[in-house]
Copies of this chain bind each other. A is one copy, B any other.
Amino acid sequence: MLFFTQCFGAVLDLIHLRFQHYKAKRVFSAAGQLVCVVNPTHSLKYAPTRCAAAQTSVEQGVLPPCHHHEAVHDPQLVPCTCPLFSCPWEGHLEVVVSHLRQTHRINILQGAEIVFLATEMHLPAPTDWIIMHSCLGHQFLLVLRKQEKYEGHPQFFATMMLIGTPTQADNFTYRLELNRNQRRLKWEATPRSVLECVDSVISDGDCLVLNTSLAQLFSDNGSLAIGIAITTSKVHNAEAEM
């Protein structure tokens, strides 16, 4: 299946696709929220050829090892931060976003509060749902991953990472919220920098973790809606940057 992320960056009331509207409305009643329908990447078969090196290990359920910043010769350059592929690209932090958009076809959505609607949650692990989120003058990478840390027991891991330095990341707080059927689950934390590896964040379990049973309780017709909000945690620092 092709890696394909489809975004609707439009206000809910203007969306004419009744299906999406219905789904989003059931979960989030607040008008004016953006809904982003994110399809899964459950196979890397059709990934660009240069990323094929990671394919075998990912298919075996072993994620490619992280690129470490220390390994980069020019300290100004950072490796590709795409969690899907072991990509040999490296470049300045400022151009990571355009690399992710152009090479890895990861879409970007604007807005302080959005709804991330992950479809086909039933697909087997390993599967990723990925989107970039532009907000408060910065770009964030949202990763939802279905992974079998323990064989036969897939779990869902959701985290948000700043496409920026750890110092910049400390200025923000992100919130992930699930809300359905008189149940609500909220996770709030400081985002990590993409210079840290998303795989480490997930293996450390320092993110929103859902069992399959909880994910099913919050899902609707196989789709999971995650409300996302980003705020500045240190007002003075954020202002200084702006």
Contact = CB atoms under 8 A, between A and B. Distances in A.
Interface of A: 150, 152-153, 155, 173, 182-190, 204-206, 208-214, 217, 233
A213 B204 contact: yes
Given A205-B214, A213-B204, A214-B205, A182 B189 contact: yes
A190 B180 CA distance: 12
15 contacts: A150-B152, A150-B153, A173-B182, A183-B187, A183-B188, A183-B190, A184-B189, A185-B186, A185-B187, A185-B188, A185-B208, A205-B217, A206-B213, A209-B211, A209-B214
Nearest to A185: B187
Nearest to A205: B213
A180 to B, nearest CB: 11
B187 A187 contact: no
A157 B214 CA distance: 12
A204 to B, nearest CB: 6
Contact of A189 (B152, B183, B187, B190): B183
A32 B47 CA distance: 57
A184 B182 contact: no
A182 B186 contact: no
A211 B205 contact: yes
A204 B211 CA distance: 10
Contacts of A155: 211
A215 B205 CA distance: 10
Given A185-B186, A186-B186, 15 more contacts: A150-B150, A150-B153, A153-B153, A155-B211, A182-B233, A183-B187, A183-B188, A183-B189, A185-B185, A185-B187, A185-B208, A205-B213, A205-B217, A209-B210, A209-B211
